[in-house]
Chains A and B, each alone.
Chain A
């Protein structure tokens, strides 16, 4: 086969693969938006769901539940996740111990979320008696998200050129000052991206919360109340009621939230980079 023909065939395959991917994604998003958007109204957003099998009412408590669990989860996971990432990237020597940590982090990142849910149910809901609650759900999500956040933080720190560190050390900065004032700021776009990825996971997660949050349709009063997120609400609507239109509406809200989060991330990290690179 002549190189020219080979190139043409390769091009068709690559282009075709890209086109199919985009078509599927757009198809899903458009289908849900077309089905879901007509259901949306201010009323739908600010009315609590009726609960039970009727599927009536809106999604107000699910929105609050989502925001609630998003806030609590991120508040808990950011410290240890980024801290462990910094430890692995900057402090840990490459020995047997850290190899085991990295290996464990890698495995945990691939464990299905329902397994984290079962773990959370056993530990937080039952043993620690947090019952079905925002707290139990958030803590389970923290376990689920930690490996991801540790990894993205470590990767982000490792992309910071060694020359920055050497410059800081040679200018009389201590190791911690070097990390705090040079390495972390330079790695910030990557770290922020990791946090946003986690936020996305919280919004989309269903299985893990199904067994830890309880799914109450009532407005959560405190961190120890049960509740439901939009994804969980969508699951209940689709599986236990005949309100399929409302499930679609909820799905549309979810997709819009994800689009907003992603756009915001891109915009933030782009702005950050332009500022740094001195454009």
Chain B
């Protein structure tokens, strides 16, 4: 299986504080990679490094490489906008724009210069269908995205990401603000999405990681303690710290 994304010996600092230590992680194409670990372990930081969302934060320092199809996305001359078109992101809190459902989805293509109304309508419908929310919103495309329920908003945000036709989708605790039924819908959706996309998900919820992911990485204090097949991590953890965490002895 191809490595879609890789981090190599990644060190990351906020000011003087080191939050990631020598993290090397391979994310396989069309698989779901889950990152678990207690709060403050650096898993969200790691995720946000994969599409350079941390760029906006002042006083950060990064050593090591983040590769997308073998190319370092932090190399000089790389266009960060291009990186983000290939690596989309879904956030912890659903964050639709204060615009209509249609405009939320059409936003990405519009920003890339797409003006053709028919094409936009097609891509909006396709994205909403893939995100399994089309039936719920097809009659209300001109209603505000903020008028939807939390679970619908999150699927709307996933559809918004799909509309830019990314190769990788990063999900930062996408279900932590949702009820169990909405969570289930998103998890089912992820299984559909992985046929076409590489997914990296950060989750607080170990059952979720066990249910949805192919490979799981356990982070602790900025260190990637263990990384392997999800069944291995949860079935036969090699490191004592991993075992302690997944059996609920801390975290």
Chain B's interface size range is 20 to 34
Known contacts A181-B111, A276-B98; A170 and B147 CB within 8 A of each other: no
In the complex, whether B143 has a CB less than 8 A from a CB of chain A is: yes
In the complex, whether B85 has a CB less than 8 A from a CB of chain A is: yes
In the complex, whether A2 has a CB less than 8 A from a CB of chain B is: no
Tally of A-B residue pairs with Cβ under 8 A?
81
Interface residues of B in 135-163 (CB under 8 A from A): 143-147, 157, 160-161, 163
Chain A's interface size range is 20 to 34
Question: Shortest Cβ distance from B223 into chain A, in angstroms?
Answer: 26
In the complex, whether B108 has a CB less than 8 A from a CB of chain A is: yes
B-side contacts of A276, CB under 8 Å: 98-99, 144, 146
CA distance A149 to B84 in the complex (A): 34
CA distance A278 to B157 in the complex (A): 16
A-side contacts of B174, CB under 8 Å: none
Q: Which residue of B lies closest to A276 (CB)?
A: B98
A172 near B84: Cβ-Cβ < 8 Å: yes
CA distance A190 to B185 in the complex (A): 38
In the complex, whether B42 has a CB less than 8 A from a CB of chain A is: no
B53 near A278: Cβ-Cβ < 8 Å: no
A182 near B146: Cβ-Cβ < 8 Å: no
In the complex, whether B118 has a CB less than 8 A from a CB of chain A is: no
Q: Which of A94, A163, A181, A278 contacts B95 (CB 8 A)?
A: A163
A-side contacts of B146, CB under 8 Å: 276-278
Q: Nearest 8 pairs between A and B by C-beta?
A: A278-B144, A278-B147, A172-B85, A163-B95, A170-B89, A276-B98, A171-B108, A173-B111
- Chosen A-B contacts, 23 in total, with CB atoms closer than 8 Å, are A94-B58, A166-B53, A167-B157, A168-B111, A169-B53, A170-B88, A170-B161, A171-B84, A171-B88, A171-B108, A171-B161, A172-B81, A172-B85, A172-B112, A177-B111, A185-B98, A185-B99, A186-B97, A276-B99, A277-B144, A278-B143, A278-B147, A279-B147
